[in-house]
Chains A and B, each alone.
Chain A
Amino acid sequence: EDQVTQSPEALRLQEGESSSLNCSYTVSGLRGLFWYRQDPGKGPEFLFTLYSAGEEKEKERLKATLTKKESFLHITAPKPEDSATYLCAVQASRTGANSKLTFGKGITLSVRP
């Protein structure tokens, strides 16, 4: 069974204090790893997809990286508007499971001004 574990569950940062969010996964053949941002009362907002170990993607203050066992979401000099829950999900490559996403429980990030 595919599993995704995110840590820490919650993270409080001071504005400008860089940090990383961790996503560890177990999947039988990784097709893709996805990062989403979710604000309270809203649906997940797509951020990145990573397909192979060593791949990196950036968007503004966010940078996602991928290894064979985990992914990191690095946040550089965060601002209060970066406060949200960050979700990690995996997609397996095996037949019959190659479209659904398996999500972790998310990391709630709070950035204080």
Chain B
Amino acid sequence: DIQMTQSPSSLLASTGDRVTITCRASQSIRTYLNWYQQKAGKAPKLLIYATSSLQRGVPSRFSGGGSGTDFTLTISSLQPEDFATYYCQQSYTTPQTFGQGTKLEIK
């Protein structure tokens, strides 16, 4: 299975900050990388698919990049509703696998 490793595991930030979360795959996954946001007690919500395509309705302050093994999720200016846990997911091979999550908390 492809292992997905996110860093950091947790992140303290303030409203208005620019933050970047990294996801590394154990082998190349080309650009088959998706990002999800999960708030406490809720299901994950798709933010970005295929590395950099913003899901409909997701604010443009979210962006994704990368290819091969290294990927990023960037939030350009944190809003209060962005404090949540973020997960990456590779869809290059079966079984699709997820990162362990990055918890974004208010400083």
Are A and B part of the same complex? Answer: no
Residues of B participating in the A interface, judged by any CB pair closer than 8 Å:
none
- Residues of chain A having any CB pair with chain B under 8 Å: none
